[in-house]
């Protein structure tokens, strides 16, 4: 669990290193089968605490009973816990002395993080090393080599820490290695990869604080929309106003004429732009989209591309469908939007749009970034109540600001609504579970970070190639990280 304490809302970012170091140290002398078990137990601690909010979502707001919710949360934790186990197992299968495995752990760990974060079920990048380091020196590497590159340096730091205990005579050199990595990150944090252009924008983010169990009730629909309209009308002096995900609890055709069209005309009269999240229909029968529209000086629509598995679509049919039906759980069924949608515009500038879960994936923020002046994320974390999920989710969103060198406007229903700077710092933040409007100023940004140019694939390809090269050298007996005969203690 010490690993998970490095992440929000605990933010003890240093704990990730002794946690990983202890795992590496205790697993080096193990057989692959015993390593598999040890890694799985580590994963249960990592995800058992880290994604405990699944139970809250399923039980409190998904309509599941206590037993069914606990079972589904347990299956979720158990599934993702397999990935640390796979990393340990694969490392134990590699050739060389037990102590020599230490050089493989950081490389294999990050490759498995990539598998979990990008590929399986279209990715679940929660609780990856780099996300815990947004306020630490290692964050300086993120605009350069992204979350996986910075995560590798974090894993290497943990491996060097392990080496201090394995070979105390080399402790000074290993400590210098750790300090060099961290010093380099600290220097890079002072670099400015993008630059402002144009005039500052006054922005307002609306946090309606509508309870999830009341949000979609027919009798509360009109009062919910009117509340957002009243809060918006109090801030016509802002150039950009953002509503959270599905702030409008009805489909677009049902509310456009009576509510949104007059609001569009008012926004236009006040020289403002309104960014509204509202579900919409597609051209084909049965197509439903989780959408964001712009009203005011510019009109447009964005349809969510990266849908939430088991929340907005059902993978692993028919098994997953049977489970949800058996436990009487409610589920939305959306269609993914096209990946090549034009950028929306507000405040006179184009921006990158993401809806809820999409802000956990860098590719969504990088697509069209060269033309975008800032980022906008509309989220509804009311599904998770007063759990640690809203804080973790904001941490994920901050990573996108840092990777892209852009301001981020993040409007949520119940929190955490925030304005984030291009270096990932939270400039303003609204309290959880309050009805409020968060107002601030941002600068449109231009230019690209090195990471925005290259993305994740070259970084991960380099890690894989480095692992292969070390394997070749190890097999040819030309390289040993440590030359010791003693067995490593457990």
Question: Would the pLDDT of 86 be above 70?
Answer: yes
- Top-confidence residue, 158 or 308: 158
- Top-confidence residue, 65 or 317: 65
| Mean pLDDT to the nearest integer, 360-364 | 95
Q: How confident is the model at residue 332 (pLDDT cuts 50, 70, 90)?
A: low
Query: Distance between alpha carbon 396 and the CA centroid of its chain, in Å?
Result: 3
Percent of residues, the chain, with pLDDT higher than 90:
80
Residue 489 pLDDT = 40
Q: At what angle do helices 142-166 and 16-27 cross, to 10 degrees?
A: 50
- What are 27-70's pLDDT values in tens digits? 998 999 999 999 999 999 999 999 999 999 988 887 788 998 99
Question: Would the pLDDT of 478 be above 60?
Answer: no
Residues assigned a catalytic role:
245, 304, 356
- What are 410-455's pLDDT values in tens digits? 999 998 999 999 999 999 999 999 999 999 999 999 999 999 999 9
* Beta pairing, strands 374-379 & 408-412: parallel
The dihedrals phi and psi of 128, each to the nearest 5 degrees, come to -85, 150
* Beta pairing, strands 418-420 & 426-429: antiparallel
Residue 414 pLDDT = 95
Residue 486 pLDDT = 43
- Top-confidence residue, 223 or 481: 223
244, 430 in Cβ contact below 8 A?
A: no
Residue 184 pLDDT = 98
Residue 329 pLDDT = 54
Residue 482 pLDDT = 42
Question: Would the pLDDT of 319 be above 60?
Answer: no
Percent of residues, the chain, with pLDDT higher than 70:
92
- What are 243-273's pLDDT values in tens digits? 999 899 999 999 999 999 999 999 999 999 9
Residue 471 pLDDT = 86
- Top-confidence residue, 99 or 155: 155
Report the alpha-carbon distance of residue 367 to residue 163 in Å, rounded. Answer: 40
Report the alpha-carbon distance of residue 39 to residue 94 in Å, rounded. Answer: 16
Cα Rg of the chain (Å, integer): 24
């Amino acid at each position: 669990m010490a690993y998970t304490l490095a992440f929000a809302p605990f933010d003890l970012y240093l704990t990730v290193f002794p946690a990983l170091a202890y795992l590496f140290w205790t697993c080096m002398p193990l057989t692959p089968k015993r390593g598999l078990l040890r890694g799985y137990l580590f994963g249960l601690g990592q995800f058992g605490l880290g994604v405990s909010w699944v139970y809250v979502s399923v039980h409190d707001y998904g309509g599941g009973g206590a037993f069914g919710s606990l079972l589904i949360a347990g299956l979720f934790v158990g599934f993702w816990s397999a990935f640390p186990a796979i990393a340990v197992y694969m490392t134990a299968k590699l050739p060389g002395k037990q102590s020599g495995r230490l050089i493989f752990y950081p490389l294999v760990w990050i490759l498995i993080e990539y598998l979990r974060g990008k590929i399986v079920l279209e990715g679940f990048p929660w609780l990856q090393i780099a996300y815990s380091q947004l306020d630490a020196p290692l964050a300086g590497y993120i605009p350069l080599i992204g979350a996986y590159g910075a995560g590798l340096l974090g894993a290497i730091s943990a491996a060097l820490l392990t080496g201090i205990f394995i070979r105390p005579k080399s402790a000074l050199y290993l400590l210098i290695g750790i300090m060099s990595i961290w010093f380099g990150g600290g220097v890079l944090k002072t670099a400015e990869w993008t630059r402002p252009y144009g005039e500052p924008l006054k922005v307002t983010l609306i946090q309606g604080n509508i309870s999830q169990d009341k949000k979609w009730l027919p009798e509360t629909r009109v009062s919910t929309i009117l509340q957002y309209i009243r809060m918006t009308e109090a801030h016509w002096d802002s150039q950009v106003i953002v509503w959270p995900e599905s702030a409008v609890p009805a489909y677009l055709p049902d509310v456009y004429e009576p509510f949104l069209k007059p609001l569009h005309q008012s926004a236009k009269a006040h020289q403002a732009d309104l960014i509204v999240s509202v579900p919409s229909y597609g051209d084909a029968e049965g197509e439903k989209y989780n959408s964001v529209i712009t009203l005011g000086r510019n009109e447009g629509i964005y349809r969510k591309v990266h849908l939430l598995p088991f929340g907005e679509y059902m993978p692993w049919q028919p098994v997953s469908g049977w489970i949800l039906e058996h436990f009487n759980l409610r589920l939305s069924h959306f269609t993914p939007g096209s990946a090549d949608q034009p950028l929306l515009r507000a405040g006179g500038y184009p921006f990158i749009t993401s809806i809820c879960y999409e802000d956990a994936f860098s590719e969504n923020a990088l697509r069209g970034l060269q033309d975008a002046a800032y980022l906008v994320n509309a989220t509804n974390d009311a599904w998770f109540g007063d759990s640690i999920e809203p804080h973790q989710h904001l941490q994920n969103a901050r990573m996108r600001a840092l990777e892209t060198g852009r301001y981020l406007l993040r409007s949520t229903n119940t929190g955490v609504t925030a304005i984030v700077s291009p270096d990932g710092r939270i400039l303003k933040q609204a309290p959880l579970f309050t009805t409020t409007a968060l107002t601030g100023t941002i600068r449109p940004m231009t230019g690209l970070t090195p990471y925005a140019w290259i993305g994740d694939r070259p970084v991960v390809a380099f890690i894989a190639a480095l692992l292969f090269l070390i394997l070749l050298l190890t097999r040819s007996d030309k390289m040993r990280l440590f030359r010791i005969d003693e067995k490593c203690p457990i």
